[in-house]
Copies of this chain bind each other. A is one copy, B any other.
């Protein structure tokens, strides 16, 4: 749910400085869990230590998912989001910014946790990145949108490592915004996307 919370923007910054490093540590752990070649007793000990930390974190917790909270300055905390969430270790997290050339861009490094074909980013993870940045371009900070259709064209494998995503809104017709987006590495585009984003019924 969208939750209004009457907190100062400075308090949001303070919380980001507490929870951000926690999630970063969990991201590193996710990577190590995939790549470790430690012996069985070490793995068992790691599991026990992690379960103990989780139990302590869970002593006080939200009843469900994080949702999005925001304050009266309009600052929002989409911190549970699977693509951009500061507190979500599944999210790289993407840091999307306006592109001086128009639209939006995002530089991101995708490591072992995002693998599909050996050495390459999972096609579905490419879709996650492209869906999110295309949605940002469709919204452009001014309108609520959700994905209507998304078409992805995989030109070649996307290598794990440093990547760049770009998206721009091509036109808006009534409730629909048409967006194009690309994902690529230093050698050029690997995946192209076209999306139609629509104003959700609750925002009409």
Q: Which positions in A face B, CB cutoff 8 Å? A: 1-2, 18-19, 21-23, 25-26, 28-30, 32-40, 42-47, 49-54, 56-62, 64-68, 79-83, 85, 87-90, 111-119, 122-125, 127-132, 135, 146-154, 157, 160
CB-based nearest B residue for A131: B124
Q: How many copies does the complex hold?
A: 2
CA A140 to CA B202, docked complex, whole Å: 41
Q: A40-B18, A152-B147, A157-B146 are in contact. Are A50 and B29 (CB under 8 A)?
A: yes
When distances are taken between beta carbons in the complex, the residues of chain B under 8 Å from A157 are 146
Q: Which one, B65, B111, B116, B135, contacts A119 given CB within 8 A?
A: B65
Residues of chain B lying within 8 A (CB to CB) of residue A28? 50-51, 54
Determine how close the nearest CB of chain B comes to the CB of A133; give it in whole angstroms.
Answer: 10
